[in-house]
């Protein structure tokens, strides 16, 4: 088997909080959204560059408190961009991990965590200030 793409499904509970967090703060875009009927839960796809997530208000689609682990590049710059937005509910710290990466974790309003990681490069990351997580 060769996987073409892996798309995590995260449980959400509030559409407006979802937009505030994933679209306005993290910078994802809505690719599509679906309702089975009026006043039904939303199921949607959001994307930021090569990261695709499915977000669902449907009971049974995902468990609150799930984690998504992402490897990427430009993590320090992305962290800085998010911190500069001064999002009221989340100001993640940048850390150097035990697995030789720089990383930060964001907690969505529904208990899910997304961990953004980049392989540590001494030359590239030597001047970074690592911040406490809060």
pLDDT for the residue 134: 46
Instruction: Tell me how far apart the alpha carbons of residues 28 and 47 are, in angstroms, rounded to a whole number.
Output: 5
**What letter would DSSP give residue 130?**
P
pTM: 0.92
Q: What does pLDDT average to over the chain?
A: 94
- Altogether, the residues listed in the chain come to a count of 134
pLDDT band with cut points at 50, 70 and 90 for residue 63:
confident
CB 19, CB 35: distance < 8 Å: no
Instruction: Tell me how far apart the alpha carbons of residues 106 and 108 are, in angstroms, rounded to a whole number.
Output: 6
Residue 127: Cβ within 10 Å count: 7
> Residues 6-13: what's their mean pLDDT?
96
Domains of the chain, first to last: 9-125 (3.10.180.10)
């Amino acid at each position: 088997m060769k996987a073409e793409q892996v798309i995590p499904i995260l449980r959400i509970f509030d559409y407006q909080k979802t937009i505030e967090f994933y679209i306005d703060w993290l910078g994802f875009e809505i690719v599509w959204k679906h309702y089975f009927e009026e006043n039904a839960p939303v199921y949607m796809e959001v994307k930021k560059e090569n990261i695709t997530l499915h977000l669902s208000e449907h009971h049974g689609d995902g468990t609150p408190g799930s984690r998504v682990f992402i490897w990427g590049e430009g993590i320090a710059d992305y962290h800085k961009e998010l911190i500069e937005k001064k999002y009221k509910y989340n100001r993640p710290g940048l850390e150097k991990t035990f697995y030789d990466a720089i990383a930060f974790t964001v907690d969505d309003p529904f208990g899910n965590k997304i961990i953004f990681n980049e392989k540590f490069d001494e030359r590239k990351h030597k001047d970074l200030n690592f911040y406490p997580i809060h």
